[in-house]
Structure 1
Amino acid sequence: MTQLIVAVHGATGTQGTRIARRLRAAGHHVRPLSSASADLTDTAALLRAYDGADAVVVHLPQVFDPLAVAQAESVLAALGKAGVPRAVFNPGMPLPPGPVGAPFVDARVLLGDRLPERVEHSWVIGPAGPYLENLLQPWSVRRVLRHGELAYPLPPQAPVPWGTLDDVGDVIAETLAQAPPSARLIVSGPEAVTGDRLAAAVAAAAGRPVRYAQVGPAEYGRLIEPVVGAAAAAGIAAVYERDAAAPSPPPPPGLLRPGATTVEEWAAQADWTA
């Protein structure tokens, strides 16, 4: 497999850390980029960060005001000037077909749409649904341990293509090495699962009864606010409100990449004692 120097945005964050780990496991050399080393609104700093890289993996931070769009525009400008031959953008969420009037979403739509104009070999590779890792955040684990409840703003009986960061990272690593034609690739779990099945998997792994509980987006925002802050909590709740009102269409079968990790395997490997 081709070994590349890969500059990874957000390599110390929740998403970037796992993606960088999978890239290293595949034999690539990772150049971690953080806000300290590459301000996303500073094109000159981004050019320095990309210098000598064979590829760039972009994750945008959780910004919910117009700064998010400015960050996407700056990254696109830097990629166009740097001449990096390969780039992957992981939006971290299913993308709608066009802008929706929310900067957090519209920045990702913009970057995904314009990336092929700036980089010769480019791919948008992201999850088909929510990450299972969302369930390991402090607000979620505390609720599992204290109340035996797995709370999320999705219906319990709706099959959801939950995926893992490791599976997305493996697809990114493979794609960068093989450099197939530019495309949008969407990574899911091996199969869509209901909230009840997800709760059963967590119960078996945690060794205690766990039930799935659907919460509304506003309530979910209140649950996560003590950890992420008021602005981010409101922004995340708004994303789930939008998704509930206008779900993204299912991906074309040719672009779907089922991951290998079942919810039972993922739950068994997770730490439910923290």
Structure 2
Amino acid sequence: MKNSWIVVHGASGAQGAPVVRHLLAAGHDVRALTRHGRSVDPAAQAVPADLLDTDALAGAYRGADGVVVQLPLVFAPDLALAQAESVLRALQSAGVPRVVFNSGTRLPPAPLGVPFVDARVMMATRLAEHVPSATVVAPAITYMENLVAPWSAPKVRAGELAYPLDAEAEVPWVALDDLATTVVDLLGMDSPPGLQVVTGPQALTGEQAAAELSAVLGHQVRWRTIDPAEYERMLAPHLGTEAAAGIAAAYAPPAPGAPPTPEPDPAVLRTGVVTLKEWASRQDWDRA
């Protein structure tokens, strides 16, 4: 699929920008959909996108060989689902032949009552009804980039890796560059799978992850498991109260009686190549 037109949602965001970069490097032409029509790469064609304007979306999609869908972090229930519905209608209206949907998070088997998660569950469930070739791509658990985010990086610099995961859980942290290369490869496959789960090359406990950061930063970093409420308080000054509550809710234990999120079938796993230590060595921790 060289020299194909690929439309990328959220092209200026943390997850979209690496996808654009890797698509351009692979020889694709990129139409970058962003809220204000600003592209992070001058080689991409920037197009403003209102996810509720189905006709405008269909126009942006028309003629594309593929679309990479990435939904924004929206926490109002009606808005989150309406945006997903609009994207689905536009994909079908434009006759898009291939879609890769980056869910951005590990998806539960059913809605949780968390709007940004539920919109993604709906998109993943219904996408194949609207396009001939559809793949959902997701991280096995979470991303390395969360550790250099403004709510985490100051704590890491001060010697603490605080995250709402069990200390003994072996977490295969995923680099966004590995997710992006997976998206590019899926777009080029003759028969892509319906689901691809990206896992990092190492499964690290909390203290092991902290040790990797310690080796790069040159001082001791300790792991500390926090609960979703504390994570919400960390996020709020940077993302706002609504977004912080919505993201933290995704880390809350399942409600009594709710089906647990199943472990992915090994057949759908793809292992990335970027280790946590390698990723950490590329970050500007002094400025993060």
Give the letter aligned to residue 95 of structure 2: G
Q: What SS does the corresponding residue of 1:14 show, helix, strand or coil?
A: coil
Which residue does 2:91 correspond to in 1?
79
Aligned residues: 273
TM-score, normalization by structure 2: 0.91
Counterpart contact for 1:3–1:177, Cα < 8 Å: no
Looking at structure 2, the residues matched to 192 and 26 of structure 1 have their Cα atoms a distance apart, in angstroms, of 29
Counterpart contact for 1:148–1:208, Cα < 8 Å: yes
Looking at structure 2, the residues matched to 76 and 193 of structure 1 have their Cα atoms a distance apart, in angstroms, of 37
Which residue does 2:43 correspond to in 1?
none
Looking at structure 2, the residues matched to 181 and 187 of structure 1 have their Cα atoms a distance apart, in angstroms, of 14
With 241-250 and 19-28 compared, the bigger mean Cα shift is at 241-250
Structure 1, unmatched stretches of 5+, are none
Aligned mate of 2:62, from 48, 51, 64 = 51
1:219: Cα distance to partner?
0.4
Give the letter aligned to residue 195 of structure 2: R
Aligned mate of 1:149, from 160, 174, 179 = 160
Matches within 5 A, 1:32-51: 32-36=32-36, 37-51=48-62
Looking at structure 1, the residues matched to 11 and 50 of structure 2 have their Cα atoms a distance apart, in angstroms, of 14
Aligned mate of 2:268, from 251, 255, 261 = 255
1:207: Cα distance to partner?
1.5
Counterpart contact for 2:178–2:274, Cα < 8 Å: yes
Give the letter aligned to residue 103 of structure 2: P
Aligned mate of 2:71, from 60, 63, 66 = 60
Q: What's the RMSD between the two structures over aligned residues?
A: 1.5
Question: Aligned residues: percent identity?
Answer: 52
Give the letter aligned to residue 169 of structure 1: A
Give the letter aligned to residue 3 of structure 1: N
Which residue does 1:268 correspond to in 2?
281
Looking at structure 2, the residues matched to 243 and 227 of structure 1 have their Cα atoms a distance apart, in angstroms, of 26
With 213-222 and 180-189 compared, the bigger mean Cα shift is at 180-189
Give the letter aligned to residue 86 of structure 1: R
Aligned mate of 1:128, from 126, 130, 140 = 140
With 59-68 and 239-248 compared, the bigger mean Cα shift is at 239-248
Counterpart contact for 2:75–2:116, Cα < 8 Å: yes
Matches within 5 A, 1:201-240: 201-240=212-251
Counterpart contact for 2:115–2:246, Cα < 8 Å: no
With 156-165 and 8-17 compared, the bigger mean Cα shift is at 156-165
Counterpart contact for 1:12–1:34, Cα < 8 Å: yes
Structure 2, unmatched stretches of 5+, are 37-47
TM-score, normalization by structure 1: 0.95
Q: What SS does the corresponding residue of 1:174 show, helix, strand or coil?
A: helix
Q: What SS does the corresponding residue of 1:125 show, helix, strand or coil?
A: strand
Quickly say closer, same or farther: Cα 1:2–1:16, change in 2 above 3 A: same
